Amino acid sequence: MTWYLMLGAFMFTCGAVGVIVRRNPVVVFMCIELMLNAVNLTFLTFAAYSPSLLPLGPELTQSWMSGQMMVIFVMAVAAAEVAVGLGIIMAIYRLRDEVDLDSMSAMRG
Amino acid sequence: MTSAQITFLILAGIAAISAIGVVALNSPVRSALVLVVNFFVLAFLYFSLGAQLLGITQILVYAGAIMVLFLFVIMLLNLGNTNSAIQKKDGKPLIGIICGIGLFGLIASQIILPMGPRGQTAGAAPGYGSPQAVGYTLFTNYAWAFEITSILLLVGIVGSILLAKRRLKS
């Protein structure tokens, strides 16, 4: 279990470094996807290695199901986020003919 | 060392190398292709954790739909020969790597210290990741969140169409 979590931590760190370092907004989006996937892996690890029932209540608290549900919702949110984010990048590119995150500092177009 | 551990080591190695590749490679197309490899390997790791439905969903949604969207946008933007494809030589990589080592040390210490290098044994019931189990839970206990997610996706569709639409010259 520990090594699954360590892999998740490593992938999350790679994504965070990419968000800091890279200048291309498309690659920054890919790094955000990498971070989301690292968190998904962590959720599934905790789901697979969780004890059978948490002392919280009825079957809602079957913790291995809760982890999988979180992964499903993270995937849905990631899909929506990528669609909107890439639309924003397209709009900026059409407006300015360049996409460079370091020169993109104005909040007004 | 059991065969499960060897499989995990191979898959985790590929995943880690491809995660580095996403950040380190210069061309966005290469980053996207390495990211596809990473998503596939993650799907196999999900299989090894027993979550079959989510592994298949990972391949379909991430490696299929989302990466096609990424490659499509890279193709539309034609970023290959613009300036932003080339990394400037400045202090950012060094600062990023230092921040990354610090962050990884912070998270890893919080994993290793309470868990120990061995960790626990698997506790979930067999078949917990089957489509039947996941679907039953999704449509009973999580039905409300499921409907909210559908509204979110609808808003995402409308928003991206609105953003990507060419403005009419008035």
Tokens for B67, please give them: 């990466």
Q: Quote the pLDDT of residue A49.
A: 82
Each residue's pLDDT tens digit, B7-36: 999 999 999 999 999 988 888 888 999 999
Helices (H), B116-142: 131-140
Residue A24 phi, psi (nearest 5): -90, 120
CA distance A9 to B128: 24
**Do the chains contact at A48 and B50, CB–CB below 8 Å?**
yes
Q: With respect to CATH, is domain B1-82 assigned 3.30.70.930? A: no
The CA-based angle A16-B57-B65, given to 5 degrees, is: 70
**Confidence check: pLDDT of A107 > 70:** no
Find tokens 């950040």 and name the residue.
Answer: B23
Nearest CA in chain A to B99: A17
CA distance B62 to B59: 6
What residues of chain A, 33 to 62, have a C-beta less than 8 Å from chain B? 33-34, 37, 40-41, 44-45, 47-52, 59-60, 62
CA distance A78 to B64: 14
Among the ranges given (A72-76, A105-109, B154-158), the one the predictor scored with the smallest mean pLDDT: A105-109
Contacts 24+ apart (CB under 8 A), A50-56: A50/B123, A50/B124, A51/B123, A52/B123, A52/B124, A52/B125
| Residue A41 burial (10 A CB sphere; 0-12, 13-18, 19+) | buried
Domains of chain A: 2-102 (1.10.287.3510)
Of the spans A33-37, A87-91, B164-168, which averages the highest pLDDT? A33-37
**Confidence check: pLDDT of A91 > 70:** yes
pTM of the predicted protein model: 0.86
Asked if the ipTM is above 0.90, the reply is no
Mean pLDDT, range B142-165, rounded to an integer: 90
Q: Which of A1, A19, A27 to mutate to test the interface with B (most CBs of B within 10 A)?
A: A27
Nearest CA in chain A to B138: A69
pLDDT band at A60 (very low <50, low <70, confident <90, very high): very low
Q: Which of A12, A31, A34 to mutate to test the interface with B (most CBs of B within 10 A)?
A: A34
Mean pLDDT, range A58-85, rounded to an integer: 82
CA distance B47 to B56: 9
User: Which of A26, A64, A65 is opposite residue B73, by nearest beta carbon?
Assistant: A26
Phi-psi region of A97 (alpha: psi -120 to 50; beta: other; left: phi over 0): left
**Do the chains contact at A9 and B111, CB–CB below 8 Å?**
yes
